[in-house]
């Protein structure tokens, strides 16, 4: 066989790939790329005797880098990367000022945006400023457009703060002045093409290392003193106390050795004005415009970050305080003594609209109670289905049950109709989709032996826990609603006796004009009104009722909007009592808790999410996630406490994390819709939910 083969295609070897190696010449730590890789070319042909010949026409080239800026002996330049920082840059500037030493600060745009006054101070005190990108990325791994954006943004911020531009650049992660790979050359080349001079270094005491000390920094600078003339230090990016402590020792040591400290410009044979020239008038206008925009962005981010922390600490504080109060209430309730002979006559009132699937079982659960002699008054509120027929077919012959009907007028109207036909002073209210435990009415009613008790809230639980969405709501009922009621019960500040399971004094309801039509949360409105009269509102954990929770997202959002909007209406209606000592815990605890935790904290939640996303993408994800998971851990502990107080198994808490994520988005929607409707003064209807009769027997 011959080599190469007779049929060899010479065209395939005419082009020569460029070499990616780096060749450096010169002395100094200021880097300039003089040659870039270029494709080579050779001519290859077949000779008459059948052999091949070649001639190189263009040789392939590689990167060639010029190292310059070799100063006179005994000169040293101090450079500081990653700042400015409000914690450490002032301390470094103080040392430099006291020692009369000029330095060069390579600033990160995001930090310059946050601390423009420090950028100005650096410049005003005679130091030089270089560009260290906006967000400190590895330029070798970013696109060309991203590189331009990083450098241009930082340039604008420097110009806005100082009135001067800069031609000095130092690439993050590649400050070494002896590049050996294409990845190390790329940032230099891109910056050079944009008009920058790249400043390297050969004295790196690794002050950024976590184990760095003032001694180790000083010792390393001294050990590397013969390597070069530019020292790399940092004034941000971590704890720089060791750098501040080492700095005066470094200055004093080298001065005693006869060294002179100079800015980087001196190694270029230039002045500060030459490396930081004033921008053109058009550039300055853009700098001012963009600088103001960056300042606004920075202020917004700071505000959002503050709101993020406020939201977290408010939630943590609420969990801790309410948890402690709930435990104390549990102990107080266990010590409460009731009169076993107190068995007043009771009327159960119930409003029904299109409840044919559930109404029979609800009334039957009431009649199967262990409380004797009950009167049940059911008002059909103009149902369009067979609700009224089911009631009459099932209970028409039962002397305990009064079946009434009226044209559709809403839940509060139907309840008031039922109350008007109630025979007895003590009333128990139940929703048409709710099933009572046998002891529920007995445990509710026994509290009214105390004449100061105006209403009693029962313990509502989700009965249809077959789906993830209803399990989410079960967590909310146990961890949210019931834990809150326990805590607020201790200080007589319960804000709502739920319509699903609650007991009332008839005379108080009538005296207040019945269930009101002014809000969508008629039970909250009435609870607050009774509390204003000075009566006690209690929570009874043993009075359990199983309610049917919405089984799809749309229905849940509809229900939560009605609750949120109705609560907002009720709080606004009773706003004159807020922070009014005349009303005791109602004014100082109950109403403020609505405004602070149900309105203000919910309003902060979107800002907390925005802050979290901004901080995650800015590179500080460890801090954000640390806060978030610490916050979630506190919530988880509070959840275990709530389930322990209820005596329930906490298996649902396995879903707490996704439940929190889901509810955050749901409540964002609910709050935004509620505020929008409130501002517009828009009328909102009751919003009847479809029943599915999926609650098992109590």
What residues are labeled active site?
81, 234
Q: Strand 426-430 vs strand 104-107: parallel, antiparallel, or unpaired?
A: unpaired
Q: How far is CA 659 from CA 301, 398, 459, 613, 665, in A?
A: 27, 44, 21, 19, 10
CB atoms within 10 A of CB 283: 14
Q: What does the alpha-carbon distance between residue 640 and residue 287 come to, in Å, rounded to a whole number?
A: 55
Helix, strand, or coil here: 666?
Answer: helix
CB atoms within 10 A of CB 649: 8
CA 149 to chain CA centroid, Å, is 27
543 within 8 A of 444, measured Cβ to Cβ: yes
In sequence order, what E strands does 300-397 have? Answer: 346-352, 375-381
Q: What does the alpha-carbon distance between residue 513 and residue 520 come to, in Å, rounded to a whole number?
A: 16
CB neighbour list of residue 329: distance below 8 Å, 6 or more residues apart: 486, 487, 489, 490, 539
635 within 8 A of 322, measured Cβ to Cβ: no
381 within 8 A of 355, measured Cβ to Cβ: no
Q: What does the alpha-carbon distance between residue 229 and residue 77 come to, in Å, rounded to a whole number?
A: 6
457 within 8 A of 501, measured Cβ to Cβ: yes
Q: What does the alpha-carbon distance between residue 473 and residue 546 come to, in Å, rounded to a whole number?
A: 12
Best CA proximity match to 279, nearest among 269, 270, 290: 290
93 within 8 A of 246, measured Cβ to Cβ: no
Q: How far is CA 451 from CA 440, 485, 496, 505, in A?
A: 20, 21, 20, 10
Q: What does the alpha-carbon distance between residue 593 and residue 574 come to, in Å, rounded to a whole number?
A: 13
Q: What does the alpha-carbon distance between residue 599 and residue 325 come to, in Å, rounded to a whole number?
A: 22
CB neighbour list of residue 419: distance below 8 Å, 6 or more residues apart: 349, 377, 427, 506, 509, 510, 514, 515
Q: What does the alpha-carbon distance between residue 308 and residue 78 come to, in Å, rounded to a whole number?
A: 38
466 within 8 A of 460, measured Cβ to Cβ: no
397 within 8 A of 659, measured Cβ to Cβ: no
Alpha-carbon torsion angle 516, 517, 523, 525, nearest 10? -60
CB atoms within 10 A of CB 399: 7
CA angle 575, 577, 583 (to 5 degrees): 160
CA 191 to chain CA centroid, Å, is 36
CB neighbour list of residue 363: distance below 8 Å, 6 or more residues apart: 350, 376, 378, 391, 394, 395, 401
Q: What residues does 67 pair with on adjacent strands?
A: 26, 31
């Amino acid at each position: 066989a011959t080599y190469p083969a007779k049929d060899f295609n010479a065209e395939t070897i005419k082009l020569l790939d460029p070499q990616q190696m780096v060749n450096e010449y010169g002395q100094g730590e200021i880097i300039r790329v003089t040659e870039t890789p270029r494709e080579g070319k050779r001519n290859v042909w077949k000779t008459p005797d059948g052999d091949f010949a070649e001639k190189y026409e263009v040789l392939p080239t590689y990167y060639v880098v010029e190292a310059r800026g070799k100063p006179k002996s005994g000169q040293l330049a101090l450079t500081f990367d990653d700042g400015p920082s409000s914690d450490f840059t002032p301390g470094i500037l103080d040392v430099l000022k006291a020692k009369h030493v000029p330095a060069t600060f390579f600033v990160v745009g995001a930090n310059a945006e946050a601390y423009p006054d420090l950028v100005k101070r650096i410049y005003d005190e005679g130091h030089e400023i270089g560009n260290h990108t906006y967000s400190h990325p590895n330029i070798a791994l970013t696109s060309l457009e991203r590189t331009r954006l990083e450098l241009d943004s930082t340039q604008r911020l420097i110009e806005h703060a100082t009135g001067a531009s800069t031609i000095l650049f130092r690439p993050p992660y590649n400050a070494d002045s002896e590049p050996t790979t294409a990845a190390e050359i790329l940032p230099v080349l891109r910056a050079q093409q944009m008009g920058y001079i790249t400043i390297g270094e050969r004295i790196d005491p690794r002050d950024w290392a976590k184990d760095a000390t003032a001694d180790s920094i000083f010792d390393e600078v001294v050990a590397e003193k013969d390597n070069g003339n530019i020292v790399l230090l940092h004034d941000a990016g971590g704890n720089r106390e060791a750098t501040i402590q080492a700095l005066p020792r470094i200055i004093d040591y080298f001065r005693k050795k006869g060294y002179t400290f100079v800015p980087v410009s001196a190694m270029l044979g230039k002045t500060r004005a030459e490396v930081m020239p004033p921008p053109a008038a058009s550039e300055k206008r853009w700098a001012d415009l963009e600088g103001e925009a960056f300042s606004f962005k920075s202020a917004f981010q700071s505000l959002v970050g503050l709101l993020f922390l406020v939201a977290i600490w408010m939630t943590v504080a609420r969990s801790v305080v309410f948890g402690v109060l709930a435990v104390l209430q549990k102990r107080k309730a266990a010590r409460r003594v009731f009169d076993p002979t107190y068995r007043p006559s009771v009327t159960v009132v119930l409003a029904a609209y299109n409840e044919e699937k559930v109404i029979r079982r609800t009334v039957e659960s009431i009649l199967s109670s262990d409380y004797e002699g009950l009167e049940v008054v059911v008002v059909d509120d103009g149902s369009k289905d067979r609700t009224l027929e089911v009631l009459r077919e099932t209970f028409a012959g039962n002397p305990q049950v009064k079946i009434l009907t009226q044209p559709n007028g809403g839940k509060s109207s139907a309840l008031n109709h039922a109350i008007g036909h109630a025979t007895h002073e003590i009333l128990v209210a139940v929703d048409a989709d709710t099933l009572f435990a046998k002891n529920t009415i007995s445990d509710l009613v026994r509290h009214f032996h105390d004449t100061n008790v105006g209403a009693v809230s029962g313990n509502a639980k989700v009965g249809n826990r077959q789906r993830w969405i209803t399990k989410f709501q079960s967590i909310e009922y146990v961890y949210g609603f019931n834990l809150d009621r326990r805590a607020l019960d201790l200080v007589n500040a319960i804000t709502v006796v739920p319509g699903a399971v609650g007991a009332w004094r008839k005379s108080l309801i009538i005296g207040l004009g019945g269930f009101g039509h002014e809000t969508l949360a008629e039970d909250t409105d009435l609870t607050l009104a009774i509390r204003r009269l000075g009566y006690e509102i209690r929570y009874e954990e043993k009075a359990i009722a199983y309610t049917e929770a919405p089984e799809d997202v749309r229905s849940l959002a509809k229900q939560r909007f009605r609750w949120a909007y109705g609560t907002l209406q009720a709080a606004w209606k009773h706003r004159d009592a807020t922070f009014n000592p005349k009303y005791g815990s109602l004014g100082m605890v109950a109403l403020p808790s609505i405004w602070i935790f149900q309105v203000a904290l919910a309003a902060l939640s979107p800002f907390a999410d925005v802050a979290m996303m901004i901080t995650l993408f800015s590179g500080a994800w460890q801090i954000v996630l640390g806060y978030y998971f610490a916050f979630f851990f506190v919530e988880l502990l509070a959840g275990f406490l709530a389930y322990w107080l209820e005596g329930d198994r906490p298996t649902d808490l396995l879903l707490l994390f996704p439940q929190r994520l889901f509810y955050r988005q749901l409540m964002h929607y609910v709050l935004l819709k509620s505020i929008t409707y409130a501002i517009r003064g828009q009328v909102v209807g009751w919003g009847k939910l479809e029943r599915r009769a999926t609650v098992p027997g109590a």
